[in-house]
Amino acid sequence: MTHAAITGWGKCLPPATLTNADLATIIDTNDDWIVQRTGIRERRITHVPAVQLTHVAAQRALACAGIEAGQLDLIVYGSCSADEAVPNTASGLQVLLGAKRAAAYDINTACTSFLYGLSTATALIKTGVVRTALVVGVEYISQYMDWSNRNVAVLFGDGAAAVVLQASDREEGLIGEALGCIADARQTLRVRGMGAVYGNRDVMLGDTQWDFDGQEIFKRAVHGMSEASNTVLAKCGKTIADIDLLVPHQANLRIIEAVGKRIGASMDRTFLTVHKYGNMSAATVPVALVEAIEAGRVQPGNLLLMPAFGAGLTLCSHLVRWGERVTPIATSDAELPPFEGTALDLVGALRAKKEPAGRSAAGSLPSPLASSLMVPVLPR
Ligand code: ACO
C-alpha cells in the first residue's frame, strides 16, 4: 500500500510583532486580560500578501525535502483569506515556485484548512493520482480584522507554513483522521464583508464586521476537538498513551488545556505557540508542527495527534506517524523583503483604508500579487 510521507517542512512568519501593549494603544484592552483569558502575548502582522509568505515557506519546505518545485504534482493552498478567488491563489503560488506540472487548488475550511488539505493530498497520493504534493496553511487575517472590535482583534495573527508529501511504501504520514462540521453553530463566527454575498453593496475589502460568540465557540471547540480525537484514536486502534506529542490548533490556551484534560493528554506532551503567534487560523497547526520539529520535540517514528476546529464550525483530529528524518536535507535562503516599520504602522494603514477618503477608484485595481498595501475595491 502507498502512504504519503511528510518529507519537507518550512514556515514563514512576518517580522512585525504586535504586542498586547500595542493593542492597548488602539482598543480598550490590556495585557493582563488577554494573557489570562487566552494565553496570547503577541502576534505577527504581515507586510506582504499571503502568497508571498507562502512562497518563502514553500521554498524552505522543498529544500528540506531535497526536491525541486518542478517535481510537484500537486499544490493545495489552505486558507480562508486567500489573496485571490479567481484565479485561485494556489495557481499564483505555482507561478512563483515554477512548479509547472503541478495541479493547484485552494481549500477553505477556515482554521482547519491545512489539515483538510493534508487529508485530500494524502488521499490523492494513496490512490495513485499524484506522487508528490505541497500542502500549505496560510492566513492574512489582519487584512480582514475589525480593528475596532476588542472581542476579536486580540485573538488573531498572520503566518504561513508548508509541508511536502511524497509517496512511500512505509506506513508513515497521515494514518487516520476524523472530520466533521457542526453547521448548526455556523452563525457563532461570521465575518461580514468577506464573500460574494456582500459584492453588490458598497463594501470595500477589509471593511468587515465580525459576528463572534466566543463562549459558544469555546464550548463547541472543546467538545468537538475532544470527540474527534477520541474517534480517530479508536479508528486507528490507538489510545492517548500511544501519542508522543499533541500539536493542536491554538486559538486559546484554555481551550487547549480543556481538550488535553478531556482526552487525557498532559500539557508536557502538548506543543504550544499560542503565546507568541495567537490564532493564525490555517497556518497555526503547520507552524506549530515545524517549530516542534525544530525544537527536537518530534523524533523518528513518533505518533502525533493534531486536533483542530474552525469557522463553520469545522472540526477534525489527525493522527500522523512521523518518518525517519527530523532534519532538513538542505536549507533555502529564501527571505521576505525587509520591513522597516512597526506592526502598529501596518494596523494603522489597515484601519485608515476603512475611511472613505482612503478608497481608490474601481478602475485602477492593483494586482494583489504585486502590492500588499493597495486595496482592491469591489466594482459597484
Ligand atoms: N480586553 C479586555 N476585556 C475584554 C476583552 C478584551 N479584549 N474582550 C472582552 N472583554 C471583557 C468583556 O467585555 C467582559 O466584560 P464584562 O464582564 O464587564 O461584561 C469580560 O471581559 C469577560 O468576557 P467574556 O467574553 O466572558 O470572556 P471569556 O472568558 O469568555 O473569554 C474569549 C473570551 C477569549 C473570546 C473566549 O470565549 C474564547 O477564547 N473563545 C473562543 C475563541 C476562539 O476560539 N476564537 C477563534 C475561533 S475561530 C477559529 O479558530 C476558526
DSSP assignment of 213-279 equals -HHHHHHHHHHHHHHHHHHHHHHTT--GGG-SEE----S-HHHHHHHHHHHT--GGGB---HHHH-B
Average pLDDT over residues 6-29: 98
209-247 pLDDT, tens per residue? 899 999 999 999 999 999 999 999 999 999 999 999 999
Does residue 311 have its Cβ closer than 6 Å to ligand 1? yes
Percent of the chain with pLDDT over 70: 91
Q: Supply angle C-alpha 325, 161, 283, rounded to 5.
A: 125
163-219 pLDDT, tens per residue? 999 999 999 999 999 999 999 999 999 999 888 887 755 656 667 889 999 999 999
Closest CA to 325 of 134, 173, 175: 173
* Residue identifier of the C-alpha nearest atom 49 of ligand 1: 310
CB 77 within 8 A of CB 49: no
Question: What distance in angstroms lies between residue 282's CA and the mean position of ligand 1's atoms?
Answer: 21
Find the radius of gyration of the CA atoms of the chain: 20
Closest CA to 67 of 122, 8, 11: 8
CB 251 within 8 A of CB 221: yes
282-301 pLDDT, tens per residue? 999 999 999 999 999 999 99
Closest CA to 94 of 366, 84, 282: 84
Does residue 23 have its Cβ closer than 6 Å to ligand 1? no
Cell numbers given for 66: 531535497
Backbone region of residue 350 per phi and psi (left: phi > 0; alpha: psi in -120 to 50; beta: other values): alpha
* Residue identifier of the C-alpha nearest atom 2 of ligand 1: 29
3-state SS assignment for residue 93: helix
Does residue 252 have its Cβ closer than 6 Å to ligand 1? yes
Q: Is the pLDDT of residue 270 over 70?
A: yes
In ligand 1, the atom with minimum distance to the C-alpha of 252 is 39
Does residue 151 have its Cβ closer than 6 Å to ligand 1? yes
Q: For residue 203, what pLDDT is reported?
A: 59
Within 10 A of 145 (CB to CB), how many other CB atoms are there? 24
Does residue 283 have its Cβ closer than 6 Å to ligand 1? no
Question: What distance in angstroms lies between residue 212's CA and the mean position of ligand 1's atoms?
Answer: 9
Q: For residue 195, what pLDDT is reported?
A: 83
- Strands 74-78 and 245-246, by their bridges, are unpaired
Q: For residue 358, what pLDDT is reported?
A: 43
CB 101 within 8 A of CB 133: no
Q: Is the pLDDT of residue 69 over 50?
A: yes
Q: For residue 364, what pLDDT is reported?
A: 34
In ligand 1, the atom with minimum distance to the C-alpha of 112 is 51
CA–CA dist 212, 217 (Å, integer)? 8
Q: For residue 353, what pLDDT is reported?
A: 77
Q: Is the pLDDT of residue 374 over 90?
A: no
Does residue 109 have its Cβ closer than 6 Å to ligand 1? no
Contacts of residue 359, defined as CB under 8 A and 6 or more positions apart, other chains included, come to 204, 353, 377
139-162 pLDDT, tens per residue? 999 999 999 999 999 999 999 999
Give the chain's mean pLDDT: 92
Q: Which residues is 16 bridged to in the sheet?
A: 45
Average pLDDT over residues 338-359: 82
Average pLDDT over residues 338-353: 93
Residue with cell 463562549: 215
- Active-site residue set: 111, 249, 279
Question: What distance in angstroms lies between residue 204's CA and the mean position of ligand 1's atoms?
Answer: 27
